Amino acid sequence: MSKPKKPLFKLYSLVVFSFLLPLAGFFVYAAKYHAAFFYLAAALVINIILLVVFHKRLSQKQSLITLQKEEYFEKTNMLKAELSTEWQTIEAFRRKIINYSQLKDLTEKLSMCLNLEETSNVLSLEVGKLFGHKDVTVILYLFHTKLGELGIYSSQKGQMQINLKAKKGDIFDQWTVKTLHPLLVEDANSDFRFDVDKVSLEDCREIRSLISAPLMEGKKILGILRVDSPLSFHFTTEDLRFLRTIADLTSIAVENAQLYQSLEELAIKDGLTGLYLRRYLMGRFDEEMARTLRSKHELSFILIDLDYFKKYNDTFGHIAGDIVLRNVAEVLRDHFKKPGDLVCRYGGEEFCVLLPDCPKTKAAQLAEELRQKIKSQEIVLRRQKTNVTVSIGVAGFPKDARLKEELILKADEALYKAKRGGRDQVCLAS
């Protein structure tokens, strides 16, 4: 703080001299000509002394006021700085409250999801809103344990699902998988860690900035949650921290969905063959028959029974019988790959196939091809090569039956017709 400047000594000397010179004249005049002028001169001296004292006190007062004014300015600046800091703190708290409120809503919505599809849909929509920009793309990758690699599960831009070229992730995602750390790229063109030309070849979209966080279950990676933008410097470190929190919630949701899916599959799939069980078939039967009636197409049902299956169990043991069932199930799965085809284990050594939008003649052709495939396949049981044959019955809806129980009965009658006819053949319901 600067002190007020003192009056110049020369200026004071000039003022004093300008007053003293007339006084000296008065005194000389009074001494020579008139004594009364002594009183006038004395009065002037007293006035000068009073003026000097008053001026001195006024200068001191002005100096004090100047000092106080500067102190007030300094205190005002300090208060402004404190208020600015307080406002920043309040704004930070406000943002945190909003974020926590959004996280609460997201947590509630994720907790209501029972499968991965619902989880990914909710996640894509909500994360897109949280990072609020129409050009932001939200991508969920899941890690396939059996394949040992990433696979894209969902990708959404705004309200639209989009198709990406990099199905297994690009160099940014591979970096996240390798390091298991969250990633912030403010400007892909100037980030020395990544080759932006390689990114352009992998994906035709323009990616300038992104944030990415791994989905972890302990030390095991479940996938990656990523948000990217065509704008540079669109994301901040605060956005990355927020995404990490969302990723933790997502990890729990994905893990729960996968567990639920596993339990659901255990309830509707056969543990030995991996095929759907009979009770799942019955539920699908009604849906497919209703859809067939609406579309005025045809539906076919194939019933398959292994010939002389008891012989394999008696000769080679029950473990050998399980091997035979698994091999036949694998052939069935490989043969009926059209979307909508449903392959089930009907019970014991019996299998069945529900074929929507498939005429009975086409189903009979597929059944014959299946019979030949199974017969030509060699199965090694206790170091002995053997072959399996099957008998097959085929029935069509709505020509052969109008109800599912009647359709199954018709296929069963055709199957026993094949068995009575010598087995290892396909018979059609009549």
Instruction: Tell me: do 148 and 80 sit in the same domain.
Output: no
Taking only the tens place, the pLDDT of each residue in 28-55 is 666 666 666 666 667 767 777 777 777 7
- Tell me which of 111, 140, 163 is where a domain ends: 111
Instruction: Tell me: do 100 and 135 sit in the same domain.
Output: no
Asked if 254 and 116 touch (Cβ cutoff 8 Å), the reply is yes
* Tens of pLDDT, residue by residue, the chain (430 residues): 444 445 555 655 666 666 666 666 666 666 666 666 666 667 767 777 777 777 778 888 888 888 888 888 888 888 888 877 777 766 665 666 556 667 777 788 888 877 888 888 888 888 888 887 678 899 999 888 777 788 888 888 877 778 787 778 888 998 999 999 999 999 988 888 888 777 655 666 788 899 999 999 888 889 999 999 989 998 989 889 889 988 988 888 888 888 887 777 777 888 889 999 998 899 899 899 999 999 889 999 999 999 988 888 777 777 888 889 999 999 999 999 888 899 999 988 999 999 999 999 999 999 999 999 999 988 887 777 888 999 999 999 999 998 999 999 999 999 999 999 999 999 999 8
Output the CA torsion sign for 282, 288, 294, 298.
negative
Query: How far apart are alpha carbons 228 and 240 in whole angstroms?
Result: 12
Instruction: Tell me: do 357 and 316 sit in the same domain.
Output: yes
Instruction: Tell me: do 67 and 195 sit in the same domain.
Output: no
Instruction: Tell me: do 144 and 195 sit in the same domain.
Output: yes
Q: In what order do the strands lie in the sheet with 160-161?
A: 160-161, 149-157, 137-144, 220-229, 209-217, 183-185
Whether the model pTM is above 0.85: no
Q: By residue range, what is the domain housing residue 378?
A: 278-428
How many contiguous H segments (helices) and E segments (strands) does the chain have? 11, 13
Joined together, the tokens standing for residue 233 give 């410097």
Question: Which are the contacts of 363, defined by CB distance < 8 A and separation ≥ 6?
Answer: 300, 301, 302, 355, 394, 396
**CATH assignment of the domain containing 387:** 3.30.70.270
Instruction: Tell me: do 239 and 283 sit in the same domain.
Output: no
Joined together, the tokens standing for residue 189 give 């063109």
**Count of domains forming the chain:** 3
Taking only the tens place, the pLDDT of each residue in 69-128 is 888 888 888 888 887 777 776 666 566 655 666 777 778 888 887 788 888 888 888 888
Instruction: Tell me: do 164 and 260 sit in the same domain.
Output: yes
Residue 153 within any structural domain of the chain: yes
Residue 287 within any structural domain of the chain: yes
Residue 408 within any structural domain of the chain: yes
Amino acid at 417: K
Residue 284 within any structural domain of the chain: yes
**CATH assignment of the domain containing 142:** 3.30.450.40
DSSP 366-396: HHHHHHHHHHH-EEEETTEEEE--EEEEEEE
Instruction: Tell me: do 328 and 196 sit in the same domain.
Output: no
Query: How far apart are alpha carbons 180 and 174 in whole angstroms?
Result: 10
- Tell me which of 268, 296, 311 is where a domain ends: 268
What does DSSP assign to residue 205? S
Residue 273 within any structural domain of the chain: no
Chain-centre distance for alpha carbon 169: 14
- Tell me which of 248, 268, 288 is where a domain ends: 268
Beta strand extents in 60-208 (DSSP E only): 137-144, 149-157, 160-161, 183-185
Distances (CA, A) of 167 to 139, 141, 163: 11, 9, 9
Instruction: Tell me: do 297 and 333 sit in the same domain.
Output: yes
Query: How far apart are alpha carbons 249 and 243 in whole angstroms?
Result: 10
Count of CB atoms within 10 A of residue 13's CB? 10
Instruction: Tell me: do 128 and 248 sit in the same domain.
Output: yes
Residue 19 within any structural domain of the chain: yes
Instruction: Tell me: do 11 and 53 sit in the same domain.
Output: yes
Joined together, the tokens standing for residue 54 give 């008053």
Please state whether beta strands 426-428 and 390-397 pair in parallel, antiparallel, or not at all (unpaired).
parallel
Instruction: Tell me: do 120 and 244 sit in the same domain.
Output: yes
